[in-house]
Amino acid sequence: MEGGWEVLFLSYLRPCRRACSRGVGKGEFPLLITSGKPCTLQHLLHKPMKLIFTLLFSVLTLVTACSSTKQQANTPPKPDTLEQVFARATDPLDRIRLKHQISDLKMGSEPPEERCRIFDEFVALVGEAIGVINQREMDYLARYFEYHSDDEGNEIAAPDSIQKKEQYYRERGVQPVHLGEGIVEFFPTPDLYAPLLRQLPDYYQEHWQLLRSSEHLTPDAGLCISWRELGDLVARYEAYPKKFPKATEFFTRLSAEYQYLQHLYLIGVDNTPTFETADSTLLPEVRSEWLRFIKAYPDSPTAKMAKGLLEMNSFTGYRGLYDFVLARQKASDFPLLSSARER
């Protein structure tokens, strides 16, 4: 039996070599030191109950400590703690990351209106941080096409160092975007906002998607989507006040972009006008699109403007179209137009 105890405890305890030099008798196996004296297996076996309780207590203490450590590791940091770290951070990418964490933690317990405010604050911070990044990476941005194309303008793989740089930024929610006419700047990736955006009310998410859909439509002063796609985007804007009639604050937010899209749809831009520059006649593909739009969205304020332009026998070039559209925008009581005048 005594040999059985010895085998059992030797499997859990390790000898303390330091105790061997402190007067352990011959044939005794040192395990641990208590009160400055070596405690041998033979001594412990004389008090089996005490040993059992000691062993159980040690195991429970170890399990409790591990559980506590694991719980602390899984406990998210408090917003106040992150705010202090954020206040000291100077790198723009670090500031974006920390502000994202702070915003996510704060949103969980707030009402919808406050969540929108927190998100707006995060978007503003991202804009400031990306401005710093664009300044910091001016040389890279100016030489972007040198890295990505050969002498004949064919796309090529960028050098490894450039690929690593771009990957580094993408992993942190920022990417270079070609704005047209050789201009490249950093912008946030859609994934940067997605986790926070999901926590916002529908009226905010819808307005956000409309604004994002309106970005970068005219690189190199030319329309990069079809006339039909542009018309349907205008219609989506016009559906917003009907879908969210109480979200009047967001009418104002959408107003400027809506007016621009309406202008773009009815007049065009330098390299994609709606009319022949030679004789100021409406392009056949534009006429066809306007007729489709009028039929699909008969109550649309844009449809009424398009109908008025179709009834005109001739245009006096860009200026005539511009004056026609601007006058009707100013006189309209449509919420996305009238809200601009109320600011």
Indicate the number of domains in the chain: 3
- If asked whether residues 255 and 342 sit together in one domain, one would say yes
Task: Provide the CA 230 distance to its chain's centre, in angstroms.
Answer: 25
- If asked whether residues 206 and 334 sit together in one domain, one would say yes
- If asked whether residues 95 and 82 sit together in one domain, one would say yes
- If asked whether residues 53 and 82 sit together in one domain, one would say no
- If asked whether residues 288 and 195 sit together in one domain, one would say no
| % of the chain exceeding 90 in pLDDT | 65
- If asked whether residues 146 and 67 sit together in one domain, one would say no
- If asked whether residues 254 and 327 sit together in one domain, one would say yes
On the question of pLDDT at 70 being above 60, the answer is: no
Which of 180, 200, 220 terminates a domain? The answer is 200
Quote the pLDDT of residue 277. Answer: 83
Lowest mean pLDDT among 116-130, 135-149, 155-169, 270-284: 270-284
- If asked whether residues 51 and 106 sit together in one domain, one would say no
Domain coverage including residue 58: 2-74
Which of 56, 74, 92 terminates a domain? The answer is 74
Higher pLDDT, 319 or 58: 319
- If asked whether residues 112 and 190 sit together in one domain, one would say yes
Average pLDDT over residues 85-108: 96
Beta partners for 39? 32
In angstroms, the CA 169 to CA 185 distance is 12
Reduced 3-state DSSP string for 242-286: HHCCCCHHHHHHHHHHHHHHHHHHHCEECCEECECCCCCCECHHH
- If asked whether residues 99 and 15 sit together in one domain, one would say no
Higher pLDDT, 119 or 278: 119
pTM of model > 0.85: no
- If asked whether residues 163 and 253 sit together in one domain, one would say no
Which of 74, 100, 124 terminates a domain? The answer is 74
In angstroms, the CA 186 to CA 165 distance is 12
- If asked whether residues 166 and 238 sit together in one domain, one would say no
Cα dihedral 259/260/264/268 (nearest 10)? 120
